[in-house]
Amino acid sequence: MKYDEVLSRAWKIVWRFKALWVFGVLASCARASSGGGGGSSSGGGGGSSLLPQSGVLAAPDMQFPGQIYQWMLAFQRTWEAEPWVIMLIILALFSLVFVLVVFGMFAGTMGRVGVVRGAWMAEEGEEKLGFGRIWRASLPYFWRVFFLILLTYGVIALLVSVLLLPFILLTVLTAGVAAIILLPILLPFSLLALVFFFGLRVWIEQTIVAIVGENLGLFAAMERAWKLLIAKPWPQLVIGLIVTIGEGVVSFALIIPFFLVFLPFLVSILFETKVALTIGAGLSGLTLLVYLPIVFAACGLMYAYIGAVWTLTFRQLTAEYILSSERNIE
């Protein structure tokens, strides 16, 4: 396989057809909605208090900055006077997260389909690829790819639950002794899990290309991608490694400036005046508005390029696979 040809050709396609960047932004929504976390805390009744009168929490030497203390004090008073308000806020936050996850799955699916379809059409010789043209050409494949992604998330969630829940229960029941005993086993097991999920990602990416590029059904595309992975594993694993490392480096480079963006706000909460907080929040907000378009453009370009790379990889490997099969028949 000609790696340099695939990587350079994918860049030329993405740079020429800027509409793919929009689908790249949509594709990034799938990555964002697939991860997340949360936490909660609860308090008892009686004379307990979230914040003592001195503003000290958990440790006698830990003093909270003025604004943080005021916010926590306001939260405590609201919880004690009208707990239903806090419950409504929590419910609204969970509802918002749910809506964002659902939107991310739909938008992300359309983005991934659009990137693959656009790159495939560009390789077929299309000269004009606008957003509307790619969107209409991508619609017939949407639900097949959506169910593939949904099935993937379900299988991953099931595997993680089956593998982690027994370990968590043993750790809790044995007060952490099981974790210490199983540590030598967990390290190589974690490495195997990492390799497994890496291979799964390669297979899923190629399955999406098989659906969109060759108009195959869901299970036919899964079989097609699996046979290709077995027949030619190393080129796909190398491309997967290149894509994963590149995605990680770019994502890290985009995340770092966020700390600088929110630095004025974080500094302002150390002061006890609303003026300082207003100035800090204003500076961070304006900086965020300037930086977000850069992030969107970079994410769109990155995920459009990743989708194009997988598309061209599939096309080149299937062409080689067909040629090899014909030679074997002869």
> Is 26's pLDDT higher than 90?
yes
pLDDT at residue 63 in the model: 52
Q: What is the pLDDT of residue 39?
A: 40
Token pair in block for residue 317 = 């490997």
> What are 265-323's pLDDT values in tens digits?
888 777 767 777 788 888 999 999 999 999 999 999 999 999 999 999 999 999 865 54
Name the pLDDT band for 54 (thresholds 50, 70, 90): very low
pLDDT of residue 65: 54
Task: Tell me what pLDDT residue 52 has.
Answer: 47
Per-residue confidence (pLDDT) for residue 51, from 0 to 100? 45
pTM greater than the 0.85 cutoff: no
pLDDT-based confidence at 37, cuts 50/70/90? very low
Spell out the SS3 assignment of 18-32: CHHHHHHHHHHHHHH
Q: Apex CA 9: angle with CA 146 and CA 106, to 5°? A: 15
Contact 227/325 with Cβ under 8 angstroms? no
Higher pLDDT, 81 or 58: 81
Q: What pLDDT digit, counting tens, does each position of 152-197 carry?
A: 989 888 988 887 887 788 777 776 777 777 777 878 888 888 899 9
Specify whether the CB–CB gap between 207 and 225 falls below 8 A.
yes
Helix (H) or strand (E) holding 311: helix 274-329
Q: What is the pLDDT of residue 325?
A: 45
How far separated are the first and last CA of the chain, in Å rounded?
A: 22
Q: What confidence tens digit (pLDDT) does each residue in 230-255 have? A: 999 999 999 999 999 999 999 999 99
Structure tokens at 271: 């002061």
Single-letter amino acid, residue 64: F
φ, ψ of residue 46 to 5 degrees: the values are: 75, -145
d(CA 2, CA 155): 33
In sequence order, which residues have a C-beta less than 8 Å from that of residue 31 and are 6 or more positions away?
A: 108, 303
Report whether 47 contacts 80 (CB < 8 A): no
For residues 260 and 25, give the distance between their C-alpha atoms in angstroms, rounded to a whole number.
Answer: 23
Percent of residues, the chain, with pLDDT higher than 70: 81
The pLDDT assigned to 124 comes to 92
Structure tokens at 229: 């992975």
The mean-pLDDT minimum among 31-40, 52-61, 84-93 falls in 52-61
